Amino acid sequence: MDRYLLIVSTVCFLAAVVHTAIELRAGVFRPLRFNFFAVGLGFIFQTAFLSLRGHELERCPLTNLFEVFIFLAWSVAAIYMLVGPGYRLSLMGAFTAPLVVVLQVFALIAPIDIRHPVKLPANPWLEFHASISLLAYGAFALACIAGVMYLVQERQLKTHQLHSIFYHLPPLSDLFAAITRLLWWGFALYTLGIVSGFFTGHPLPRPQVVAAIGIWLLYAAILQGRHLRWFAPKRVAALCIIGFSAALTLLWGITFTAEMHPIP
Amino acid sequence: MTVFCIGLSHHTANVATREQFAGSATAESIVREAGCPEALLLTTCNRVEVYGVSHKRISTDEIARCLTKTPIRDPHYYAPPFYRYEAEKCVQHLFRVASGLDSMVVGESEILGQAKKAYELARKSGAAGQYLHRLFQRAFRVAKQVRTHTDIARGAVSVGSVAVDLAQRIFGRLSDCKVLVLGAGEMSERTARALISRGVTDLRVTNRSMDRACELARAVGGRAIPFETWETQCREIDIFITSTTSETPLLTTEKLAPLLRDRLDHPLFIIDIAVPRDVDPSVNEMEGVYLYDIDSIRSVAEQSLELRRQQVVAAEAIIAEHVTDFVDSLSRGLNDAARKTEHPLPGENSLRASEL
């Protein structure tokens, strides 16, 4: 039953992707409210799925790679719902939806929804650590998407080749302000996630801790470079993409090793 | 009764011909002289059109005679530059005109304001009645829908508006932007005015002749600064408009690099409208600098026009839908009215659906 909710949710996000693709192809891209509503509806079904799964497990549904991917997709959609309309970044929905579709389709297709043979006991600190960290990933994902939008627009402005989509992108300054705020949000949540990891009551695998701190340092460096004006906005946008790719790789590694050596 | 449109535009007549028919008639005078119950006169720099409603056919020559300043006896003299649309074709033509599809610059919005003004004039004078009211109100709705649901009005198509449009894409709100105008030519003035109209408040003007700088600053509401300081101004300005007559580039990468060192996260938009160019093209390669010369601005304007042209098909589809709906609703309205009054549809006073 819960997988059907997820399929419906994926279809909603896919509708946003297809709508954008058709409009871009026709050269009449207009973000309007369609993307926001499609993402919003998809988000509701995601939430319903996570809620059902949580009740079934009697804990935060982050017990395997499948759930981690869905929670990450949910975080991306949640942060978009918070940030998108607030910063008038309705176009961001067009960029957010494909990422969510990729995450959910992969989670649905790949044989990664492996239930633990025994019910895992609830561990509030561990659940808080995992969920906050994934919310941070959501913010970093959105910063990455805003970075892509920034680079697309910057490139068009530099080359003097303006396409239909150009007229619907937020101004460079607004995008850069959104990137900075998303980075700060992500960084604060990620810091909270790392700190709470030390309270789970279990020894954490050393490579995971080192890699997590590495990612934390990378984002700290981006923010510091931005604050001290070492990096131009274009470089910050590019670093957001690199940072999120690295964070995603780490997430994969953490979840994979956690499945090999589960923490009770 | 049938609705008709008789007129001439930039498609059919040159400006010399158009001006012979513009300015002397009013909607009232057409109602009086042509003998049609309702009339509306739409006069712009690109068109002179009469929209009317009549139960008898009013010839094109008759309308042309009403419009002309100097009547000519030859009855076929007027025919060539005039076009005539009736019923459904007339409705379609008006919807296209109001939506900017028939304009010289496709998608321009000025025509909608002009059509609204023409309608107001006709309504106040009593020349426009219920039929033209319904027709024009629908035309305004169609025009709004076309603008909202297509990209027909997107992008700027003149040098000044392209500059302003690009500045808004970079900075968002222009009210906090600092602008420096170097050289007090006509093009800089126009661009500066366009920026001021979009909210710029800090505009600095400089020129080799301080008098000319003061004159331009006064005209556009900026302030004149000494010519020798223009380079140091680049440290803090956001938009730089230059159009001097210098034979060699005034701004090069070497000159600009040290000035931009402290403002890495702050973009600089340069509009170089001088020929020969004032800014070395390699400046565009610098981080955070967006350089547009006159050719690239024209190219952006061309791209905008091309984008607008691509939207015509989508706009025509919206219009076609409205034309069908308008004709149907009018026919339904007339049938209802006929049923209510329990009289056969009066041939003389109603707009027959078959005629539309």
User: Is B5 in the active site?
Assistant: no
Touching B: A residues 154-183, CB under 8 Å = 157-158, 160-162, 164, 166-167, 169-174, 176
Point out the residue among A167, A171, A229 whose CB comes nearest to the CB of B265: A229
Point out the residue among A153, A161, A232 whose CB comes nearest to the CB of B265: A232
Mean pLDDT, residues B227-249: 90
Q: How many CB pairs under 8 A join A and B?
A: 70
Touching B: A residues 8-67, CB under 8 Å = 26-30
Chain B residues with beta carbon closer than 8 angstroms to that of A26? 314
Q: Do B290 and A158 count as a contact with CB atoms less than 8 A apart? A: yes
Q: Do B169 and A157 count as a contact with CB atoms less than 8 A apart? A: yes
Rounded-to-integer distance, Cα B270 and Cα B293, Å: 8
Provide, rounded to the nearest whole percent, the portion of chain B with pLDDT above 90: 48
Closest chain A residue to B304, measured at CA: A162
Asked whether residue B74 carries a pLDDT value surpassing 90, the answer given is: no
Q: Do A233 and B296 count as a contact with CB atoms less than 8 A apart? A: no
Mean pLDDT, residues B204-211: 92
Q: Band of the pLDDT at B347, cuts 50, 70, 90?
A: very low
* CA count, 13 A, side-chain hemisphere, A40: 11
Q: Do A167 and B149 count as a contact with CB atoms less than 8 A apart? A: no
Point out the residue among B168, B265, B311 whose CB comes nearest to the CB of A233: B265
At residue B311, the pLDDT reads 87
B276 preceded by cis ω (within 30°)?
yes
Q: Band of the pLDDT at A212, cuts 50, 70, 90?
A: confident
Rounded-to-integer distance, Cα B82 and Cα B98, Å: 19
Render pLDDT for B111-165 as a digit per residue (tens, 0 to 9): 999 999 999 999 999 999 989 999 999 999 999 999 988 888 877 777 788 888 8
Chain A residues with beta carbon closer than 8 angstroms to that of B310? 27-28
- Chain B within 8 Å of A237 (Cβ-Cβ)? no
The residues, any chain, with a CB within 8 Å of residue A36's CB and separated by 6 or more, are A84, A85, A90, A93
At residue B323, the pLDDT reads 95
- Greater model confidence, A44 or A163: A44
* Biggest CA-to-CA distance, chain B: 87
At residue B85, the pLDDT reads 95
DSSP single-letter state for residue A110: S
Chain B residues with beta carbon closer than 8 angstroms to that of A159? none
Alpha carbon B242 to chain centroid, angstroms: 27
Counting other chains too, the contacts that A94-97 makes at CB distance below 8 Å and 24 or more residues apart are A94/A16, A94/A17, A94/A20, A94/A29, A94/A31, A94/A35, A95/A145, A95/A148, A95/A149, A96/A39, A96/A142, A96/A145, A97/A13, A97/A14, A97/A16, A97/A17, A97/A20, A97/A35, A97/A38, A97/A39, A97/A42
Mean pLDDT, residues B323-343: 71
Q: Are B212 and B201 in contact (CB under 8 A)?
A: no
- Min CA distance, B208 vs chain A (Å)? 30
- Min CA distance, B299 vs chain A (Å)? 8
Render pLDDT for B7-62 as a digit per residue (tens, 0 to 9): 999 899 888 888 888 878 899 999 999 888 999 999 988 899 999 998 889 999 88
- Greater model confidence, A32 or B185: B185
Rounded-to-integer distance, Cα B136 and Cα B144, Å: 12
Give whole-number Cα distances, B126 to A23, B28, B31, B32, B38, in Å: 45, 8, 10, 11, 8
Chain B residues with beta carbon closer than 8 angstroms to that of A229? 262, 264-265
Rounded-to-integer distance, Cα A250 and Cα B267, Å: 34
Closest to A73 (Cα-Cα) out of A156, A26, A5: A5
Asked whether residue B276 carries a pLDDT value surpassing 70, the answer given is: yes
Point out the residue among A164, A170, A232 whose CB comes nearest to the CB of B151: A164
Q: Band of the pLDDT at A90, cuts 50, 70, 90?
A: low
- Greater model confidence, A79 or A89: A79
Rounded-to-integer distance, Cα B53 and Cα B37, Å: 6
Neighbours of B210 (CB within 10 A): 14
Asked whether residue A261 carries a pLDDT value surpassing 80, the answer given is: no
Point out the residue among B170, B264, B296 whose CB comes nearest to the CB of A173: B170
Q: Do A162 and B155 count as a contact with CB atoms less than 8 A apart? A: yes
Asked whether residue A128 carries a pLDDT value surpassing 50, the answer given is: yes
Asked whether residue A164 carries a pLDDT value surpassing 50, the answer given is: yes
Mean pLDDT, residues A214-233: 91
**Pick from B27-31, B105-109, B131-135, B350-354: least confident:** B350-354
* CA count, 13 A, side-chain hemisphere, B114: 19
Chain B residues with beta carbon closer than 8 angstroms to that of A30? 149, 151
* Letter string b/e over residues B220-254, b meaning 16 or more CB atoms within 10 A of that residue's CB: bebebbeeeebeebbeebbbbbbbbebeebbbebe
Q: Band of the pLDDT at B352, cuts 50, 70, 90?
A: very low
- Min CA distance, A228 vs chain B (Å)? 10
Rounded-to-integer distance, Cα B100 and Cα B93, Å: 11
Asked whether residue B339 carries a pLDDT value surpassing 90, the answer given is: no
Q: Do B299 and A26 count as a contact with CB atoms less than 8 A apart? A: no
In order of their start, the domains of chain B are 2-154+311-341 (3.30.460.30), 159-305 (3.40.50.720)
Q: Which of A29-33, A208-212, B135-139, B310-314 has the highest mean pLDDT?
A: B135-139
Point out the residue among B151, B169, B299 whose CB comes nearest to the CB of A171: B169
Q: Band of the pLDDT at A210, cuts 50, 70, 90?
A: confident
Closest chain B residue to A172, measured at CA: B170
Provide, rounded to the nearest whole percent, the portion of chain A with pLDDT above 70: 86
Asked whether residue A24 carries a pLDDT value surpassing 80, the answer given is: no
Q: Are A215 and A254 in contact (CB under 8 A)?
A: no
Q: Band of the pLDDT at B355, cuts 50, 70, 90?
A: very low
Task: Suggest the residue from B148, B151, B313 to mutate for an interface test with chain A (most A CBs closer than 10 A).
Answer: B151
Rounded-to-integer distance, Cα A243 and Cα B29, Å: 73
- Chain A within 8 Å of B309 (Cβ-Cβ)? no
Tokens representing B153 are 């009005």
The overall average pLDDT reported for chain A is 84
Render pLDDT for A63-77 as a digit per residue (tens, 0 to 9): 888 888 899 899 988
- Min CA distance, B210 vs chain A (Å)? 34
Chain A residues with beta carbon closer than 8 angstroms to that of B264? 229-232
Point out the residue among B172, B287, B307 whose CB comes nearest to the CB of A171: B172
Give whole-number Cα distances, A144 to A95, A141, A178, A182, in Å: 10, 5, 11, 9
Residue of B5, B36, B45, B234 with catalytic role:
B45
Rounded-to-integer distance, Cα B178 and Cα B257, Å: 19
Task: Suggest the residue from A22, A24, A25, A28 to mutate for an interface test with chain B (most B CBs closer than 10 A).
Answer: A28
DSSP single-letter state for residue B173: -
